[in-house]
Amino acid sequence: MLFSILAVQETVAEVDGTVETLAKVVSAVTEAVPQSGGAAHLILLLTVFVLAVFLGIEIITKIPPTLHTPLMSGSNAISGITLVGAVLATGADNGPWATILGFSAIVFATMNVVGGFVVTNRMLAMFRTKK
């Protein structure tokens, strides 16, 4: 919310500069996107986080001890999801330093992801029942 208001304030201030305009724009934005602002949005993300934690606990506690090693390597592979962040950080036209950092981040994250899934698969394939 804060961002949008500030940004709109600035832009409009350049254009017109009168206090009334500002007030009108701000109230229009406030009404139109009542829930999409900074803090409210953050709480929405927080809600997603909390739900995912609850869900994780429910599912993980159901996984039998037999599969705990694959679980460890598998969830480790999932934590390589930062790969998405790495791609976003590298892909944007962001200057050489950011690109180098992003490139290395991608290499690291892909090793984590691909290696993790492959080794988990290797382990799990052993668990197929032999009957």
Burial degree of 120 (CB within 10 A; 0-12, 13-18, 19+): buried
Minimum CB separation from a copy of itself for residue 34, in Å? Answer: 9
Binders of other proteins among residues 54 to 113 (CB under 8 A) are: 54-57, 59-95, 97-99, 101-113
Regarding 29 and contact with other proteins (CB under 8 A), the answer is no
Q: Which residue, 39 or 125, is less far from a copy of itself as judged by CB? A: 39
Task: List helix spans (H) across the chain.
Answer: 2-15, 19-32, 38-62, 68-79, 82-91, 96-110, 116-125
> Shortest approach of other proteins to residue 6 CB, angstroms?
6
**Cβ closer to a copy of itself: 91 or 104?**
91
Contact (CB, 8 A) for 37 and 2:
yes
Could you give phi then psi for residue 36, rounded to 5 degrees?
-100, 10
- Smallest distance from the beta carbon of 41 to other proteins, in angstroms? 8
Q: What Rg value do the Cα atoms of the chain yield, rounded? A: 24
Q: Does 81 bind a copy of itself (CB under 8 A)?
A: no
Assess 71 for contact with a copy of itself (CB under 8 A): no
Residue 124 contacts residue 70 (beta carbons within 8 Å): yes
Instruction: Name residue 120's amino acid.
Output: T
Summarize as ranges the residues that interact with a copy of itself (CB under 8 A). Answer: 3-4, 6-8, 10-12, 14-16, 20-21, 24-25, 28-29, 31-33, 35-37, 41, 44-45, 47-48, 51-52, 54-55, 58-59, 62
